[in-house]
Structure 1
Amino acid sequence: MTQALSLNARTTALVMIDLQHGIVGRQIAPYSGAQVVAKAKPLADALRAKGGTVVWVHVLLNELLALPADAPGRTPDTPPAPAEASELVPEIGAQAGDVIIAKRQWGAFYGTNLEQQLRRRGIDTIVIGGIATNFGVESTARAAFDLGFKLVFVEDATSGLNEEMHHFSFNKLFPHMGHVRSTQETIAAFA
């Protein structure tokens, strides 16, 4: 049985990963990019209304770390992405007071000022979602966990490259790192 969750909005940040033109339109599962965006906006609006912090993370696709791998995301002959591909989609409803973080690798902490932005605001809890579950979201969550942030994973505001990978993280890994909740349950927990 899932325990009741209460989140102090003033010490909570919503961190949404890679809701940008070059990623939202990709083939992902179990939710489409449009479905993830449709969940992200009310999460952001609800937390912002209660005095919480909203963080939008996007990856600079043409600067993304590319190391030798058996299944690389980019190869030397991959054409550069158009500039718009790295821009956040307008449907998320980003506001002037939101924090925007540009990253150059999977995780949102390394090589960015995300931790500093959160610590300066007194944030101790991160509500996390976005695309893709096993890459940007999981990498960011692991770093957050190592840094001592409490975590809430929003299952229906997150999607992966495929359904099996997504469910593995949500069923086998994330419950050991924090709380797994739906968008509706998370919004209800903001106090």
Structure 2
Amino acid sequence: MTTIAPHLDPTRTALLLMDFQPAVLAVVPDADQVLSRAHAALSWARSHDVQVAFVRVAFTAEDFAAVPARNKSFAPLAQSGFLADGSPEAALHESFDVHEQDITVRKIRISAFASATDLRAALRDQGIDTLVLAGLSTGGVVLTTLRQAADDDFQLYVLKDATADPDPEVHRVLTEKVFPHQAYVIDTDELGTLSKPA
């Protein structure tokens, strides 16, 4: 298993900032630090003309109505109306400035590539084959998106310090034991070096 992260081509790379929403930030430890590192990644992307995609989970009334009672994760949300689109808890964190050229994704399941989103097509249309993942939580959107992206043959980097989970042990096991089989796990500060020509 290769552990040294290769250089990446910014013109073929997208930064996915996933589920940085008040409801999710409220349940992860060191949320301010993780948010700060996500902003550092965003600054890197802006300065290198890397495509940025903001992903968030939010439901319309129709989305809630379509959730089957057998769905253990989302049936309780549908019943409570939590994470309704337009609510403060479902919004992208106010500290992020979305630009016109950014991709914005509203999803109704865990993965950024859930069937109701068009993220995959948007990335492929731009010739993007490399993804840098940051998000909340490690055991939720990051894990699920990483698995699907790996199956789609994307080259993957996970920003360990711009990712967090409500359970720190889950974060540790995934970033140290699981993710390295399909992605390069790096710190945000490494992006500047990796984006330079080899």
The question of a shared fold, defined as TM-score above 0.5 by the shorter chain, is answered with yes
- One-letter amino acid of the structure 1 residue matched with residue 93 of structure 2: V
1:30-69 alignment runs, 5 A limit: 32-61=30-59, 63=63, 68=70
Shift of 1:165: 0.7
> How far apart, CA to CA, are the structure 2 residues paired with 1:144 and 1:81?
25
On the 8 A contact 2:57/2:108 being kept in 1, the answer is: yes
SS in 1 for 2:4: coil
Corresponding residue number in structure 1 for 2:126: 121
CA change 1:124–1:76 in 2 (3 A) is closer
1:190 equivalent among 161, 171, 195: 195
Corresponding residue number in structure 1 for 2:108: 104
Structure 1: 5+ residue runs without aligned partners? none
Does residue 90 (structure 1) correspond to residue 91 (structure 2)? The answer is: no
SS in 1 for 2:56: strand
> How far apart, CA to CA, are the structure 1 residues paired with 2:78 and 2:5?
49
On the 8 A contact 1:61/1:85 being kept in 2, the answer is: no
Deviations 1:30-54 (A, max 9, x none): xx22222211112112122212101
Does residue 145 (structure 1) correspond to residue 150 (structure 2)? The answer is: yes
Shift of 1:161: 1.8
On the 8 A contact 2:158/2:183 being kept in 1, the answer is: yes
- One-letter amino acid of the structure 1 residue matched with residue 9 of structure 2: N
Percent identity between the aligned chains? 27
Structure 2: 5+ residue runs without aligned partners? none
> How far apart, CA to CA, are the structure 2 residues paired with 1:122 and 1:170?
27
